[in-house]
Amino acid sequence: MSDRVRDLIEQWRRDPAATYQTWFLWDERLKNFRSIRRGIGQVVKEIEAGRFGVAYRGSSLETIVHSVAEQRQIFKGADHAFLWKPKLRIPDIYENPANQRAFGRLLHHCSCCSTATEILAGIRTIDQLRIKGLGPAVANLIYFLHPTHVSPFNTAIVNGYNAITGSKVKLGSWEHYLAMRQGILALNARYSDLLSNDLGAIAGFLFDVGSGRYPAPPLDDESLSASGWDARLAEARAEAVKFEKTALQQGETDRTHTEIQAWVRDLGRALGYRVWIASNDRGRQHEGARLSEGCLEQLPPSLANGPGAESIRLIDVLWLEGDADRVAAAFEVEHSTTIYSGVVRMLDLALSGELNISAGLFLVAPDSRENDVRAQLQRPAFSRIADLNVRYLPYGELERHRASIARFGTGLRALTEISHRVT
């Protein structure tokens, strides 16, 4: 691409009325990141607890979207995509509980993960559900969680991107958004000396072009023109098809995951513990009944209101001491996914102060995954995990011994015998 785009970016940076100086360099911008992230956590918490409600107005979501919309001109109108439109019944996350929970899972997933691969997996998962009216405008929330991986999204940004590159991005399509994201990353890399790792900068530039503040220069570079767009869209579609096939295979994984949770649930109850099932799994069906049947309906106040509560309530299975509110054991079932989120939740539990000093932290996984689990725990991000007594509990050992442990066992000794320390 010619230096005319470079010249335009330099002009944009100097313009005191453009988004670079009025928003991107705005002193309050980073403070808003912190408050919006906290607000997203509140939305997740309310959805998990079934307290979110069936309306946008007055909800915790309205509060954070309003905070986003106040981010100067670039996010003006950000709330439109989330407003309830009764005639169209969109976005369908208010009256449909399953869709609402899926939306909450997306926000929680993106709050916990750290890599672009994980973020995109979350986006493709929600896209597979085809929730009416819930499209790429959600990227405006995810941006405030991962500004170096996700670009803001609105009509003006799309218009600016199309004008600069000759692309044909359509609103409302996650496939088009993901293809545009690849093009934005390419643009950002090309002009990295003028822009930022924070994709808000290039989004602001595209916004000002798309809203008519600056005319786009003539197209004279095929790598980011229409042919480049066609290639990126084809790649995004191919990734969607690949992900869909993986998701079908994951269906069997999910059934296995639920089955293992049920094994651990039943064993805990047989040993006299009170059992908590992850809040986002409570409604799953196993052998004709809810997975949480006969389990705690609420976490004790010390856990529900303490530090890390949002993360702790998502641990796959907790065993609580029968005569106290302290956790005796925690279990994360890791059938085929990375262990990142599960380990983070265990760390939150350990740091909450509500863990019995002799408690067990168990990663329950297929027999063949032990080396993989050990390798993942060597990552620098998990350095704190070495201080905890985390053990690897293979499916095979659990299946072979759970009946005899339930009948003759007491406490955690038998589980400790059939599991292996991994830290």
Q: What is the pLDDT of residue 178?
A: 93
Average pLDDT, the chain: 86
Query: Amino acid identity of 6?
Result: R
Confidence at 416, pLDDT banded by 50, 70, 90: very high
Q: What is the pLDDT of residue 50?
A: 83
Report the percent of the chain where pLDDT is more than 90. Answer: 47
Residue 280 confidence class, pLDDT cut points 50, 70, 90: confident
199-256 pLDDT per residue, tens: 999 999 999 999 999 998 887 655 455 457 677 778 777 876 776 666 555 544 555 8
What number is the average pLDDT over the span 120-126?
A: 89
Q: Which of 10-14, 114-118, 262-266, 267-271 has the lowest mean pLDDT?
A: 114-118
Contact 45, 310 (CB under 8 A): yes
The pLDDT of residue 341 is 74
The listed range with the strongest mean pLDDT (133-147, 269-283, 384-398) is: 133-147
- Contact between residue 88 and residue 95 where contact means Cβ atoms under 8 Å apart: no
Tell me how far apart the terminal alpha carbons of the chain are, to the nearest angstrom: 51
Is the confidence at residue 382, as pLDDT, over 60?
Answer: yes
Residue 70: pLDDT band by 50, 70, 90 thresholds?
A: confident
* 36: pLDDT strictly greater than 90: yes
Residue 399 confidence (pLDDT) above 80: yes
- Residue 160: pLDDT band (50, 70, 90) is very high
pLDDT at 249: 53
pLDDT at 223: 46
**Mean pLDDT on 74-83:** 89
Is the pLDDT at 359 greater than 60? The verdict is: yes
Range with the poorest average pLDDT among 98-112, 160-174, 242-256, 386-400 = 242-256
pLDDT at 120 over 60: yes
pLDDT exceeding 70 applies to what percent of the chain? 90
Q: What is the structure's pLDDT at 175? A: 92
Instruction: Please compute the mean of the pLDDT values over residues 115-141 and round it to a whole number.
Output: 91
pLDDT, average across residues 163-192: 92
Of residues 307 and 120, more confidently modeled: 120
Mean pLDDT across the stretch 373-385?
A: 71
What is the model's pLDDT at position 358? 61
Q: Return the closest-CA partner of residue 50 out of 327, 313, 354.
A: 313
Residue 324's pLDDT is: 76
Least trusted range by pLDDT, from 65-74, 130-139, 193-202: 65-74
Given this model, what pLDDT does residue 63 score?
93
